[in-house]
Structure 1
Amino acid sequence: MSWLFGLNKGNNSQLPPVDGLPESGEPTGQGDAGAAGSGRGGPVDSGYRSEAYSFDSTALERAAKAAKQLESSKHATQALELSKMQEVTRQQEQMAKIKEYEVGVEQMKIEQKRVDGEQKRKYMEEEAKIAKHKAEYQDQLARRRYEDQLVQQQRMQEQNLQKQEESVAKQEAMRKATLEQEMELRAQADMKRIQAETAARAKVERENQDLYLEQIRLKAKESRTTIMEGIQTAGNVLGAGAQAFLNDWDKVVAAASGISLLALGVYTAKRGTGVVAGYIDARLGKPSLVRDTSKFSLFETVKHPIQTSKKMMVKPQDALSGVVLAPQLESRLRDVALATKNTKLNRGMFRNLLFHGPPGTGKTMFAKKLAMHSGMDYAVLTGGDIAPMGRDGVTAMHKVFDWASASRKGLILFVDEADAFLRKRSSERISEEMRSTLNAFLYRTGDQSDKFMLVLASNTPEQLDWAINDRLDEVVEFPLPGDDERERLVRLYFEKYVLQPAAEGSRGRRIQVEEMDYGKLCSDIAHLTRGMSGREIAKLSVAWQAAGYASEDGVLSQVMIMDRVADAVRNHSQKLQWLSDEEIRENRNVGYKSRKEEDASKSMNVETGKK
């Protein structure tokens, strides 16, 4: 058996053919199935590859010889069965490999389907994401187009408005030029007419000089004769009348009574004229303490007719027009203006206000705007004008309040620098005249009034008397402008003092402005002028205008503007330094006074203890 196994293991082609088994080189049914399966699923095992056929006769002879030996051997049947079992085992292994291959192929197909599904899902997600991005991009484009349309429409509206303003300005300039030309021609015609009339009159007088002299002589002679006759007649009449008067006692008594009645009439007329004059002065005049007012005054109209006519032509306007303040403060002041206007319309009691804050923050400007908005008159008083009046301050104060109460439209009485005479009576040293004036002010403002509204302005409200604080209904602080407010102020005054004069021109030298980015320039200036008030920014704008007029070519450059800004910043810093030095000195004086008072109290306590 060992040689059989070794022969079968070495080369199957040397075995003789056995009945029922295929010869070496011919595939079995299973092999055909495997080949067919391999044709369906993939490559076949290397043992079943097709090879070139070559006939070997020696091998056939050896096979025949081996078959004869096998037939004569007693183990032939077992060898054949073993060979069959090996072949079956090999075929089963081959079939198992084929099945494994088919299972692998199926798994690969399933994996391929899973991968295809995953790829399809990813593709669909990517398509959805792309569609979403596309929709968002289209929406963004639509928004941008809409915003661009809005910006374009706004720009077109601004351009149309600017064109309309330019057209109105041109028409106004043409109208002014026409009126000036007409006035000039009329003046020239009047001068020519007056010269002609004067020349004609002089010529007529020269020609009729003799006749005039003769007429003068005749008139003088007749006048002298008439006067002499009148004197003679009057002497005769007076002499006769005096003689008759003295001879009649009843006439003497009647004459004495008439003279007494005449004296009484003169005295009554004088006193009545004084009373009427005082009434007229209270109704139509203006008290001496009032610096500025919009109330109609006959004497002020005669004295300043143009200014009075301009004030009378002013129409009611918004209380915050031209006033740049913080948004919260603007909202609060708008409520104050609306309440004041409705109070006037309903004839209610006005509320007294206190405006406090640094100088130049718009307190006086808003008080005037408030009066114009509510349709009331305004009057401006200054606290520094009261102290020099001395004992006449009480009378002047009563005249002011009598004059204010006589207003038919209502009056806003604005007292600027109120701390100059409304100081604390307990701690401040004030004269008796100032104390009396303060008491008169407190007496006239003790009750709410429907005739006038009291508005006080002070930079140091802590110095006001407690009775004054008791009469105030609302306190409003006007702080220094912030970053946004400063930029608005810079743009406003740059437009007013630089761009408008450059656009309109004047009869004298016209200012020109260098090409520059005005918006960025105003933002930079607003950043540099931190801590400045509105008045300081307005003065800075006037300095720009003066620099343009002072330049050789009349051109205002950006360098000149920034130089003026640097000067203003240095001046502001110097003022702040002076203010801090003054506060230090005041604090030292206050500390010295407090130490003296403390030493005095200690010494008094010691003396009291000794006693």
Structure 2
Amino acid sequence: MQIEAKRAEAEEKRKLLQEETRQHQARAQYQDQLARKRYDDQLAQQQRMNEENLRRQEESVAKQEAMRKATIEHEMDLRHKNEMKRVEAETKAKAKADRENRDLILEQIRLKAEQNRITVLESIKTAGSVIGTGAQAMLNDWNKVLTAAGGLTLLALGVYSAKGGTTVAARYVESRLGKPSLVRETSRFSLLEAVKHPIETVKKLKQPEQDALSGVVLAPKLEERLRDVAIATKNTKQNKGMYRNILMHGPPGTGKTMFAKKLAKHSGMDYAILTGGDIAPMGKEGVTAVHKVFDWANGSGKGLLLFVDEADAFLRKRSSETFRKTCELR
């Protein structure tokens, strides 16, 4: 019985201890909740205070900005009014001064006009007197009239003759000494080139006649036709006959230019090469340039074979990619 009583007493103590522990934990939780609530209340109150302060600051800034704008507008209004008053005062003063000085200005204008009129009349009288005196003196002396007319006639004739002579001399010098700008390549050499390059000039003079078709690979029929052309050209050169124009066509690299050069050397003539693409962009000036080339070609003592590459560039509109070349014998 005593053991059970002690056991019951111990159980009661244990239960009492658990209850005290539970109550202690409950009090601690309650105190913690109270502390958290107080902290939350403090935070909320602080936030409300901050918001209130911010609102007051914004209201203060807005009031200051409104006052500043009102001040600026007032200053601008006053400045505008003062400016308008100043302009009005200046306008009135200027108008008053203009009214007061109007008569004086009109008088000055009349005086200047009168002085200008007198000056012009005196100039006209002086010029008329001088011209009249000179004309009367010249008409009274017919020798002076004839001398003046003859002098003017001789002067005009001299100017016209000098102009024509200069043009003819320039064309002659250009045809004899200079190479036209359209000519890209030529075997003809001028006196100036002979002085500059004497060795090359001697080599050109000593070059023997070449076969017109040497180094040119052609079909048998075409080779036969071109050989006939070479023989006919050489005979025409020897017999001083009339040359023919030859039209050759074909893609690049087939030997058209080479044949023209060798034909000239075979016939004992000079050659010159120009391109139709250089003539087409010149427009109306191209005619003059071509005439210069012909004049220059006619000045060759040996005769000159003029080879026009891409002649279709200025002779007609291009309708295909075929290259046409004209070989003119001069």
TM range (shorter): 0.3 to 0.5
- Higher RCO, 1 or 2 (CA under 8 Å, sep at least 6)? 2
TM-score, structure 1 as length reference:
0.27
Q: TM-score, normalised by structure 2?
A: 0.46
